[in-house]
């Protein structure tokens, strides 16, 4: 690919210049990027011809300076020619390396990654959620392991990252770390963000991700049916620990709130809504979007049950939730006791709210999206794709309408009844 190349000699006056000879500098520009360095020669500004980039005069000293600049210019074009013949990347850094005779210290991938994570850590709870920080920390660790596995190096220079690096990283995640496709894509997208930082800073000339596809596969999310919700809700447990976990899980089933959002939920976030009933008005930790949810009777019962709990009183929270790890461990115990064979995690409750509790009961997807705090309706739409029961009910209604229509219509005619 042709890239614009230019070379310029110019005088660079120092600060507080008061007169006398000035250093001559050479500037090389390639593809919109440039580098410059001193030629170790000087010239009188009154005798400098800026357009030609040479000193005006016929004295031996002047001829010697101009001859040196001619030689230096020839070296630059020769360096460019050699790089082209060798099919190597022609940029300001490779040219400078040949002319100056020493290579500038290149940035490394893990160096940039660690600096990014340091900045992100300082902005946790400001611009980023703790979970986001955790994902980038894990991605950095996996990237270190990949570089060691593939190249037997502790780090890699960013200008050595290419398309092969990206595809080999995908292979590593799937074959060595045994990650599923979507998890691999998540980790690689974290690395891509770091690479984009390098590109924007001019440290990488070509995007190694160009032409690489990172499409996630659609995953069918687990959710509970109405019968399964009732089985969990009505089950009597012998320990307060399982009863507490069950109650908070059911609360999530009827509010759609995630673990992180329930964990930070304050008493002040229960408000009187536009209909005069109690609502939850909170900001989602993951997306920082406002989520307003009318409280259904079961959710209100659970809040009432725990309003005097010591943790709720002392910490001004709505529910005495346990750690996410413990919640999920105890939910698996509950699933065994109730006889549910599904992948029973706390996030299952959020999907249950979106499907069984709301969409299946005719709540419009726009309202569900707003309550879930989704910033994009497409995020909510994948819930609607798995509701076979809702499809069956809707088609049953249509079947009844068409049957009634055919009975009243003339022979050999089909009449479609519109709701409009």
120-134, 189-203, 379-393, 396-410: least confident range: 379-393
> Secondary structure of the chain: what % helix, strand, coil (to 5)?
55, 10, 35
Q: Dump strand ranges (E) for 211-355.
A: 270-272, 278-283, 290-294
What are 315-328's pLDDT values in tens digits?
999 999 998 889 99
pLDDT on residue 249 = 94
Structural tokens at position 418: 């519109």
Tokens, residue 400 = 């009844």
Task: Tell me if the pTM is above 0.75.
Answer: no
**pLDDT score, position 301:** 94
HSE at residue 394, side-chain half, CA atoms within 13 A, is 10
- Say how far apart CA 164 and CA 7 lie, in whole Å: 34
In the chain, domain spans: 5-100, 109-200, 226-386
Residue 408: what pLDDT? 62
Q: Which residue spans within 166-313 are E strands per DSSP?
A: 270-272, 278-283, 290-294
Rounded distance, CA 352 to CA 341, Å?
A: 15
118-122, 180-184, 190-194, 410-414, range with the lowest pLDDT: 410-414
DSSP 17: -
Q: Are 159 and 202 in contact (CB under 8 A)?
A: no
Which run of H or of E encompasses 6? strand 5-11
pLDDT for position 415: 47
Residue carrying the six token digits 């809040």: 303
Q: Give kind and range of the element (H or E) at residue 40.
A: strand 33-43
In this structure, how many other beta carbons lie within 10 angstroms of the beta carbon of residue 32?
8
pLDDT of residue 1: 43
**Which CATH superfamily does the domain covering 226-386 fall into?**
Intergrase catalytic core (1.10.443.10)
* Six token digits for residue 416: 């479609």
Contact 12, 22 (CB under 8 A): yes
């Amino acid at each position: 690919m042709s890239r614009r190349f230019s070379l310029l000699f110019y005088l660079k006056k120092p600060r507080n210049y008061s007169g006398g000879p000035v250093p001559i500098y050479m500037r090389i520009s390639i593809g919109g990027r440039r580098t410059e360095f001193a030629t170790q020669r000087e010239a009188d500004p009154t005798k400098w011809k800026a357009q030609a980039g040479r000193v005006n005069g016929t004295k031996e000293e002047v001829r010697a300076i101009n001859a040196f600049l001619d030689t230096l210019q020839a070296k630059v074009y020769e360096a460019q020619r050699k790089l082209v013949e060798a099919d190597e990347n022609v940029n300001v850094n490779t040219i400078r390396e040949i002319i100056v005779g020493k290579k500038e210290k290149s940035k490394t991938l893990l160096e940039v990654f660690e600096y990014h994570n340091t900045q992100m850590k300082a902005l946790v709870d400001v611009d980023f959620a703790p979970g986001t920080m955790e994902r980038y920390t894990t991605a950095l660790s996996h990237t270190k392991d990949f570089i060691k596995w593939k190249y037997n190096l502790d780090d890699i220079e960013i200008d050595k990252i290419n398309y092969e690096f990206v595809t080999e990283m995908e292979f590593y995640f799937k074959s060595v770390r045994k990650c599923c496709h979507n998890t691999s894509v998540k980790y690689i997208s974290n690395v891509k963000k770091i690479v984009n930082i390098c590109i924007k800073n001019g440290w990488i000339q070509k995007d190694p991700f160009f032409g690489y596809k990172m499409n996630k596969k659609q995953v069918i999310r687990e959710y509970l049916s109405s019968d399964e919700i009732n089985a969990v809700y009505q089950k009597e447990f012998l320990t307060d620990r399982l009863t507490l976990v069950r109650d908070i899980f059911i609360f999530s089933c009827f509010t759609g709130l995630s673990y992180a959002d329930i964990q930070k939920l304050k008493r002040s976030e229960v408000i009187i809504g536009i209909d005069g009933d109690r609502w939850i008005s909170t900001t989602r930790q993951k997306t920082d979007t406002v989520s307003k949810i009318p409280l259904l009777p079961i959710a209100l019962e659970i809040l009432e049950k725990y309003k005097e709990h010591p943790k709720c009183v002392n910490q001004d929270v709505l529910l005495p939730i346990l750690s996410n790890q413990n919640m999920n461990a105890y939910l698996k115990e509950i699933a065994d006791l109730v006889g549910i064979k599904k992948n029973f995690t706390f996030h299952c409750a959020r999907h249950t709210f979106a499907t069984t509790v709301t969409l299946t009961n005719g709540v419009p997807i726009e309202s569900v999206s707003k309550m879930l705090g989704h910033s994009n309706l497409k995020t909510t739409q994948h819930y609607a794709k798995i509701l076979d029961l809702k499809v069956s009910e809707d088609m049953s209604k249509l079947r009844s309408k068409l049957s009634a229509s055919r009975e009243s219509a003339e022979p050999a005619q089909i009449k479609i009844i519109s709701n409009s």
